[in-house]
């Protein structure tokens, strides 16, 4: 569809890939470009679009599965050190209150720091 008196441009299509089908494109209206694709080329374009969409969907689902797996593993594996520097001793162990509402007693624990500077300070203080 070309409007009389409307500026048009001429295009030449060159395809250097053996999988691309040559597309004849004689004149294109500047305001509403029309491309003439053969049905086989349209099928290939749709197939490629479907493959890209499926691959993107698979990648997103794979990343979501990995994220959920890491989140559930982190929730199940609470990284509590074996010998923390301060042990919170609950004042009322049979109460259902959380420790921050029970004014817990703090008792020191034997703890060796991994950092050499902190370890030296601990040795100096003892």
- pLDDT value at 28 more than 50: no
| 9: pLDDT strictly greater than 70 | no
DSSP letters along 35-103, please? ----HHHHHHHHHHHHHHHHHHHHHHHHHHHHHHHHHHHHHHS----SS-SEEEEPSSTTS-S-GGGS-
Instruction: State the pTM of this model.
Output: 0.34
Averaged pLDDT, 55-83 = 82
pLDDT tens, 77-97? 776 656 666 666 666 667 666
Q: What is the per-residue pLDDT for 98?
A: 64
Mean pLDDT of the chain: 68
């Amino acid at each position: 569809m070309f409007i009389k008196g409307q500026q048009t441009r001429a295009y030449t299509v060159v395809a250097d890939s053996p999988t691309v089908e040559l597309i004849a494109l004689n004149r294109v209206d500047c305001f509403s470009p029309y491309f003439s694709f053969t049905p086989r080329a349209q099928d290939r374009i749709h197939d490629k679009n479907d493959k890209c969409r499926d691959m993107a969907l698979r990648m997103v689902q794979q990343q979501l599965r990995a994220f959920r797996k890491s989140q559930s593993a982190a929730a199940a594996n609470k990284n509590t050190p074996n010998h923390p520097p301060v042990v919170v001793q609950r004042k009322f162990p049979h109460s259902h209150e959380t420790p921050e509402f029970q004014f817990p007693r703090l008792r020191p624990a034997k703890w060796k720091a991994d950092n050499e500077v902190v370890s030296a300070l601990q040795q100096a203080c003892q």
